[in-house]
Amino acid sequence: MRMTIFGSGYVGLVTGACMAETGNHVVCVDIDEGKIERLNAGDIPIYEPGLDAYIERNVEAGRLEFTTDIEKAVGHGLFQFIAVGTPPDEDGSADLQHVLAVAESIGAHMNDYRIIIDKSTVPVGTADKVRERVAAALAERKLDIEFDVVSNPEFLKEGAAINDFMKPDRIIVGTDNPRTAELLRALYEPFNRNHDRMITMDVRSAELTKYAANAMLATKISFMNEIANLAERVGADIEKVRVGIGSDPRIGYHFIYPGAGYGGSCFPKDVRALARSAAASGYDAQLLDAVEDVNNRQKHRLFEKISHHFDGDLDGKTIALWGLSFKPNTDDMREAPSRVLMEALWSAGATVRAYDPEAMNEARRLYPDASKLVLCDSAEETLGGADALAIVTEWQEFRSPDFDKIKSELATPVIFDGRNLYDPAVLDSMGLTYYAIGRGRSSAGA
């Protein structure tokens, strides 16, 4: 099938590459000329495991191309995917200007039937606005051309997006037109062969499903962080509590790991946007506000522990930092806990020696003039001259370090672990002071 994808960011590139992988002819269009030039030169602007191979293979096969030519892109595909960003507005609501600009462009150039698919995460009612914008553009051209607007939200996890797309848990399709639903079923048939994963519903329910899914996962994380903070104060071990409650199939083990707070491009933005949507509809979503408040507070916990350990005097101290991305297997630092920690340390007069397997260039982009940030080539290198070690991202290579080397290199043998990677008893036996999240009174810190 022939399809067009507006937006060559994370969602657009993964969608385009995976659709092309199954034999479709995909055109990705973007107004950013520099990004398109990079893509056409084989330079992938984001890090996602396996994505570069998918793109290279399908570009060479002629099934995937990148362009800034909007007229060509609209003329190419029956399916017109909108996969542009919806950044938070000043009040936290989703900014739809890019989505609606794409809708207007489609209406300005389409000459026959098109299925317009909202892949971006958008508030309930966005499909109506897209439909109105396309219709207005067609009316301006004095044309009456049939089109449908579908909600087809993505459920991709950064670091596992290729697998999520190729082997989806579910395929949500929101449409009021049975014919359109069957066309989408045919489109997704290669990803739907084992058993039927496609769930059809009305458009507004599909739009809300995406927000509800992310808000539920964020709620589980904030809940566990609340219990972890309580565990510190009553002398319990949150890791034992986690196993105990996770064994209940009604709860399960997914997303109940306490830590330094969630970040990234989805959870923070989507929880805020859903809360603002609720407020706009006249409903006070107290739980959503609490989820966000708990997460914002949790991002400061490691700094509080570090400051408490050093009696509030961090001026002139150096902290080794392992992990910059908001999660493993990505270079994404959007709303990452590492940023909150680093900025608090700098404000207190400390220097940070940091390492991340993938996010070093992103850190350089975000903090080009940070005089108190030293980016190191390895985890071990960060230890040189450091007073303590803090861990913010659970990269695999951080799970079994040389603790003897850590102890010998640090001026004070202390580890602040924001992801509960290690066994407190083992570190205690080695003479390392260990602060984790929710692991009893000894690690309460503040």
Question: Which residue is listed with tokens 């992103």?
Answer: 362
113, two tokens: 């039937």
Cα–Cα distances (Å) from 55 to 19, 160, 166, 319, 401, in that order, read 11, 16, 14, 39, 35
Q: Report whether 353 contacts 374 (CB < 8 A).
A: yes
Q: What beta strand segments (E) does 368-412 contain?
A: 373-375, 388-391
What is residue 348's three-state secondary structure? coil
Query: Edge-to-edge strand order for the sheet containing 414-417?
Result: 373-375, 351-355, 318-322, 388-391, 414-417, 433-435
Q: What type of residue is 315?
A: D
90, two tokens: 């000043």
Helices (H) and strands (E) in the chain, counts: 18, 14
Q: Which of 354, 334, 361 is nearest to 43 (CA)?
A: 361
What single-letter DSSP state applies at residue 156? P
Q: Report whether 338 contacts 262 (CB < 8 A).
A: no
- Work out the angle at residue 427's Cα, subtended by the Cα atoms of residues 424 and 429, and round it to the nearest 5 degrees: 110
Cα–Cα distances (Å) from 190 to 8, 12, 24, 243, in that order, read 23, 19, 11, 37
Q: Which residue among the candidates 18, 28, 266, 376 is catalytic per the annotation?
A: 266
Q: What is the rounded radius of gyration, in angstroms, for the C-alpha atoms of the chain? A: 24
Query: What are the b/e assignments for 285-311, b being 16+ CB within 10 Å?
Result: beebeebbebbeebbbbbbebbbebbe
What single-letter DSSP state applies at residue 157? P
Q: Report whether 174 contacts 202 (CB < 8 A).
A: yes
d(CA 302, CA 300): 6
Active site annotation includes 18: no
Question: Which residue is listed with tokens 């903070």?
Answer: 229
Which residues partner with 118 through β-bridges? Answer: 82, 151
179, two tokens: 């014919």
Q: Report whether 258 contacts 227 (CB < 8 A).
A: yes
Catalytic center residues: 266
